[in-house]
Amino acid sequence: MENEVKMILNTNLYEDILRIAQSGIDFSEFNNKTVLISGAGELLGFYLVCALLISNDINGTNAKIITLDKDDSIFKLYGKLTYRNDIDFIVSSDFSNLQNNKADFFIHTQKPESEAEICNIIKYIKTVKSNSVICSFSDVYGDVFNGQDIISEEDIGYCDSYKPESRSIQIQRLFETAAITAAKEFNLDIKPVRLCQVFGYREYGSKNDYIRIFKNVADKKNIEITRSDKTLSSYIYVTDAAEALFTVLAKGKSTEIYNISSGFVASNHIIAKYCVKLFENLGIKIIYKDKETTLSPMAPTLDALDNSKLKSLGFTAKTDMQNGIVRSIKNLYEERE
């Protein structure tokens, strides 16, 4: 096939995404089907799209992939892959122009930013009746005080509606409610998921703190860490996150919510320590900026997600934190070269 993914992506990145295409996912389910992926210009969306394209290359899946993003920089990101016949691109700020693009499967990986956007997504799923996974993120839980070490799908915590930063939480909760209500009323197949921190690396990557740490390693610079940063969060490497979404798409129950987590927890401090150990030949040190403080016993439950429901579908994470960090930084090095 002309413009095969293997010939276009950097070697490390291709081999990384190839792991998804060669995982236990039954890609034959996508034979001659159309798959719509939103957030295709972001890390997770890019991996999902390329995994489907690789499956077309090596398995002859013959799936049609429609990529959806809010920024036209997506064309630069995909480069020569845009010339392939099995992929189309839609740029839309509010997803209002989807109705003429029927898809058998739909994975929505972005946080909704407005009520109008939510309405357009639900309307689309209702119209085309696609098998859909919609993503919320771990901050949707708010501040949970459950007396446990982890957060399950049944936990919903406090959200101060007077704080501007709570708007995202409220919109995500509205998104989930609207999707589940529509699924029950119109007999739609919609599976909401809640993503923990998805980590990996591409040059367009997010502004998360771990990206800054990875860049420090690549630049052979010391890593600055707030010494009091002991807050643990769930992390999942991007290849495992993609496999988890495909698993929920194929095996999940409509209107059931699934936490997407590998079971690994870390803080920025722990990630930095891993980096120093894994790349000790670089002589990088951790520089602590503030005095150490102790977390209050009255603090909310740590941002660690229980993934028992996801594991019940047969999912097992394959990449631990250390291997994920090494693969991320290898991708970073290769892109810079």
Give the DSSP H or E segment for 68.
Answer: strand 64-69
d(CA 29, CA 35): 11
What predicted TM-score, i.e. pTM, was given to this entire model? Answer: 0.94
Cα 193 to the chain's mean position, in Å? 10
Residue written as token pair 């495992």: 240
d(CA 295, CA 293): 7
Assess contact for 263 and 307: CB atoms under 8 A: yes
Residue written as token pair 């999912």: 315
Domain boundaries, the chain: 5-336
The CATH label, of 3.10.20.30, 3.40.50.720, 3.20.20.10, 3.90.950.10, for the domain at 5-336 is 3.40.50.720
> What does each C-alpha distance from 69 to 53, 72, 131, 321 come to in angstroms?
17, 7, 19, 29
Tens digit of pLDDT per residue, the chain (337 long)?
668 999 999 999 999 999 999 998 999 999 999 999 999 999 999 999 999 999 999 999 999 999 999 988 899 999 999 999 999 999 988 888 887 899 999 999 999 999 999 999 999 999 999 999 999 999 999 988 888 889 999 999 999 888 888 999 999 999 999 999 999 999 999 999 999 999 998 765 556 778 889 989 988 999 988 766 667 899 999 999 999 999 999 999 999 999 999 989 998 889 999 999 999 999 999 998 876 666 566 666 778 999 999 999 999 999 999 999 999 998 888 887 7
